[in-house]
A and B are shown apart, each in its own frame.
Chain A
Amino acid sequence: MKRVEGLSKLTGRELYVDDLPVDGFLWGATVRSPAARGRIRGIRFDDSVDWSEFTVVDHRDIPGTNAIFLIEEDQPVLAHGRVRHLHEPVLLLAHPRREELRRAVEAVHVDVDAEPPVLDFRLTPDRERIQYGDDNVLKRLRIEKGEVERALAQAPHVIEGVYETGAQEHVYLETQGMLAWEEDGVITIAGSMQCPYYIVEAFEHALGRTPDRIRIIQAATGGGFGGKEEFPSGIALHAALLALKAGRPVKLIYDRSEDLAVTTKRHPSRVRHRTGVDGDGKLLGQDIEVVLDGGAYVTLSPVVLSRSIIHAAGPYACDHVRIDGRAMFTNSPPFGAFRGFGAPQSLFACERHMDRIAAELGIDPVEIRKINLIRDGDSTATGQVIADGADRVQVLDRALDLADYYERRTAHAGFNAAEPTRRRGIGLATFFHGAGFTGSGELFLDSEVHVAGLPDGRIEVRTANVEMGQGTLTVFTSLVCDRLGVPAEAVTIAPADTSLVPNSGPTVASRTVMVVGGLLEKASDDLRTRTGLPADADGRAIREAIREWHRSHPGEPLIGKAKYEQPEHIHWDDETYRGDAYGAYAWGAYVADVEVDLRTFAVSVRDFVAVQEVGRVLHETLARGQIQGGVVQALGWALLEECKWRDGAMENAQLTNYVIPTAGDVPPIRVEFLESPYPHGARGAKGIGELPFDGVAPAVANAVAGATGTDPASVPLTPETVMDLILRQRPPAGSLT
């Protein structure tokens, strides 16, 4: 099946928020904090501007609570009294013409009495820098299994390592944007987003409205990757506040520099490992500390931290594990959801550390993984017993096979011995990614989907899950077609418009196909049952029964429904962090073949193999697209992408100098899927959207380590970083000095 909205996108007809036709609207703009931390002394408006032409909104215009509702309510919609990060929104302006608007933004001066900010999450803050609780810790979590101290004390070898990763910007090609208007007393938003109902909740709190007076519509969305999970709630509120005050539609679209400077990014991390092993490399105890930079507000950091620590011990069986996690307050714009959601950071550390252990003990990096990989019946760090029928060693073997791992390793040894200026290496990573919300999160979401039978016999799918490039519309269509035996032309997908669709939860956490898709199958069954037909009824009969039902129930809706029910095997304790953290895990083994130029210190990836076990592949083309795209985005994080900070501001907030891979920078990527169906996922599927991000950076770093004999402990591995690694290892060559 081709992509449902494919031709619309290929002919330029698809309407993203800035493409929506709307009459008589105003453009909105945001006035931001000029300091990373301080008290707002006052706001001055230059006389050079005729302010009567402008709609001006500040915190006093917020009818409800001045907070963006999420886990905590600490982040104001508009700063009041004090600012906690550079570029924090303080004031909003709207005007019919953007030129005047731009001048007006420059004519507002936010005067701030600056206070000392916290800009490095790794340092213990002094007293005058404490701004959250009594230690600037936004969230603390711990996983404990067995007795790690005793295990480490008895272990023949204890190996330590500290690993760091930097911030990464999503660079969805479409910047953040919202259009807001009020219609018949209903505040309405159309915009670029992943989670329409998050915005409904945010509006309920900040605008003091009931949901029936809030309508959120997802416009075509030009990429999300997590960047349009929580951040859009704030910009939607800004657009809505302006529209409500102006009494006219308001369009608020960020330009790229603003988007890069102020929106969320992947959490920077520092992970410390202290690992006890025996002489064969068998893991005896894992003591792990994960610290994330949360930025200036809590936002999603507690759940990012949660996923980060749950994945921190890797896909390995170990009886004694302790993982301490902390998300730290800093005066940076808040870090947020990004494909992988904390797991890429802790898995980078884990997989780099596995290679370090192997190197110190003189063990093959393949063997140390093989003896430790979880077998069915083993348990994870949270004590979750894995028994999914997936063979993780087979996944690894298949990747090694596809990559010609051993042959290449031998060939590289010969190449490196003969070649004076280039070094080749091959590196691998084994990893896993839990699909869906953590622990009882899915239960809490209480997702609901509808599959409606229309009077003309067509079937309409109603969910709040969005298409943002990953193929939601196509997979949903194909799932319902298959379940009911109807052709694709008979199925339409309702727009993700909260006035039309139930809350099926956010489009995040690799949950859309596995969880929501599974609900669609149940709702399809429910629709069929409501028409009075048995499970073996064919599509033609079902469509006729739908038409017949409507003839006998004129004017009534015919809706098949399904609500999430926790599979019985899932038991999770949020207090002790013990139990079944996820309903299912996808498993991966990635192999990177790299060449390092000893003259330029540039790393180039020659070949990449991505093998994963994902339950069941529902749509080969879309699934491959997810893996290829995820691998390249993660290659950017591993090798290129670096946010440079200066006094709390991103210094390279342009695509000129925040650089992502171009068409000329991608290696051949060979993708293969293994399938071991998950009984509770749609047609056996597990989540795959985030998985490919997890295994790339460690595979590349391990390959660089192998090629150069160095021990990289951070990404991105830019040439300057690799130069440091290599020169630290041996005195610089004479020609360089």
Chain B
Amino acid sequence: MRETLSLTVNGDLIETSAPTHYTLLETLRYILGLTGSKQGCDKGDCGACTVLLDGEAILSCILPVQEAAGRSVVTVEGLAGGPRPSPLQDALDLTGGAQCGFCTPGILCSATQLLAGNGSPTRDEIEHALSGNLCRCTGYTKIFEAVELAAAACRSGRTAGEVLAARAEGG
């Protein structure tokens, strides 16, 4: 059984025909070829499948695809919104917050929502926002640093690299 659905994915309005029992994650990965969002645990325990649905970070591995119909989905592939990485991607690159990279797409989506609503998150707020995204490589510290760096970059209108350089110079 298939059903034709229309939804916006990374800014593009698309029509897709997915089996009715697919999750949003399966549709993204196996119908639309957007393999950036990952399957880590199958059932909502790890956060690797996190995407933004109308701006809210949710778990795409337990969302029936029909619930995304008519709504806007942003995945890791759509976070940059252009040829340049987003400030958050840039910051994770600089701090070394991505290691094996498997949890990274989900982390990016959760952190993107956080920063959209909070330009100066505290360490506690960052920990809380990311507490549904498991990472086994980094011990989280560099991810926290990246979110703080991205927030500082956005606040100052500079790139993450410029913020780091200014810090190194004591400014």
Contact B38 A173 (CB under 8 A): yes
A201 sits at the interface (CB 8 A): no
Count residues on chain B whose CB falls below 8 Å from chain A CBs.
54
Contact A223 B43 (CB under 8 A): no
- Binding site of B, secondary structure by majority: helix, strand, loop or mixed? loop
Task: List the B side residues contacting A660 at CB < 8 Å.
Answer: 134, 136
Q: When chains A and B are docked, how far (Å) is the Cα of A662 from the Cα of B47?
A: 11
Chain A CB within 10 Å — which of B46, B136, B143 has the most? Answer: B136
Would you give the shortest CB distance from B128 to chain A, in whole angstroms?
Answer: 7
B104 sits at the interface (CB 8 A): yes
Q: When chains A and B are docked, how far (Å) is the Cα of A172 from the Cα of B104?
A: 13
Would you give the shortest CB distance from B41 to chain A, in whole angstroms?
Answer: 4
A1-45 residues at the B interface, CB under 8 angstroms: 2-3, 5-16, 18-19, 21
Task: List the A side residues contacting B48 at CB < 8 Å.
Answer: 173
B89 sits at the interface (CB 8 A): yes
Contact A663 B85 (CB under 8 A): no
Contact A2 B94 (CB under 8 A): yes
Contact A12 B102 (CB under 8 A): no
Task: List the B side residues contacting A161 at CB < 8 Å.
Answer: none
B137 sits at the interface (CB 8 A): yes
Determine the residue in chain A with the shortest Cβ distance to B33. A21
A465 sits at the interface (CB 8 A): no
B170 sits at the interface (CB 8 A): no
Q: B96's contact among A14, A221, A255, A621, by CB below 8 Å, is which?
A: A621
Contact A628 B45 (CB under 8 A): no
Once A and B bind, how many residue pairs between them come within 8 Å at the CB atom? 167
Chain B CB within 10 Å — which of A11, A15, A175, A224 has the most? Answer: A11
A636-672 residues at the B interface, CB under 8 angstroms: 654-656, 660-664, 666, 669
A112 sits at the interface (CB 8 A): no
Q: When chains A and B are docked, how far (Å) is the Cα of A64 from the Cα of B142?
A: 47
Stretch of A114-122, A203-211, A231-239, A467-475 lying at the B interface: A467-475
Task: List the A side residues contacting B135 at CB < 8 Å.
Answer: 173, 663
Count residues on chain A whose CB falls below 8 Å from chain B CBs.
56
Contact B35 A9 (CB under 8 A): no
Contact B101 A18 (CB under 8 A): no
Would you give the shortest CB distance from B38 to chain A, in whole angstroms?
Answer: 7
A384-426 residues at the B interface, CB under 8 angstroms: none
Stretch of B52-60, B63-71, B72-80 lying at the A interface: B72-80
Would you give the shortest CB distance from B42 to chain A, in whole angstroms?
Answer: 5
Q: When chains A and B are docked, how far (Å) is the Cα of A495 from the Cα of B101?
A: 17
Task: List the A side residues contacting B101 at CB < 8 Å.
Answer: 5, 8-10, 14, 220, 222, 469
Task: Tell whether A173 pairs with B102 under 8 Å between CB atoms, given A223-B137, A666-B140.
Answer: yes
Task: Tell whether A16 pairs with B89 under 8 Å between CB atoms, given A172-B136, A621-B95, A660-B136.
Answer: no
A513 sits at the interface (CB 8 A): no
Task: Tell whether A11 pairs with B80 under 8 Å between CB atoms, given A173-B38, A222-B100, A469-B101.
Answer: yes
Contact A222 B143 (CB under 8 A): no
Task: List the A side residues contacting B36 at CB < 8 Å.
Answer: 11-13
Q: When chains A and B are docked, how far (Å) is the Cα of A470 from the Cα of B139?
A: 13
Would you give the shortest CB distance from A320 to chain B, in whole angstroms?
Answer: 39
Contact B38 A663 (CB under 8 A): no
Q: When chains A and B are docked, how far (Å) is the Cα of A5 from the Cα of B92?
A: 12
A257 sits at the interface (CB 8 A): yes
Q: When chains A and B are docked, how far (Å) is the Cα of A172 from the Cα of B135?
A: 9
Task: List the B side residues contacting A21 at CB < 8 Å.
Answer: 33
A633 sits at the interface (CB 8 A): yes
Would you give the shortest CB distance from A254 to chain B, in whole angstroms?
Answer: 10
Contact B143 A12 (CB under 8 A): no
Footprint of B on A, CB under 8 Å? 2-3, 5-16, 18-19, 21, 170-175, 220-225, 255-257, 468-471, 621-622, 624-625, 628-633, 654-656, 660-664, 666, 669
Extra 17 A-B pairs, beta carbons < 8 Å, given A3-B96, A7-B93: A5-B101, A12-B34, A14-B101, A170-B136, A173-B136, A174-B38, A222-B100, A256-B41, A256-B45, A468-B100, A469-B100, A470-B137, A471-B99, A625-B137, A628-B139, A629-B137, A632-B138
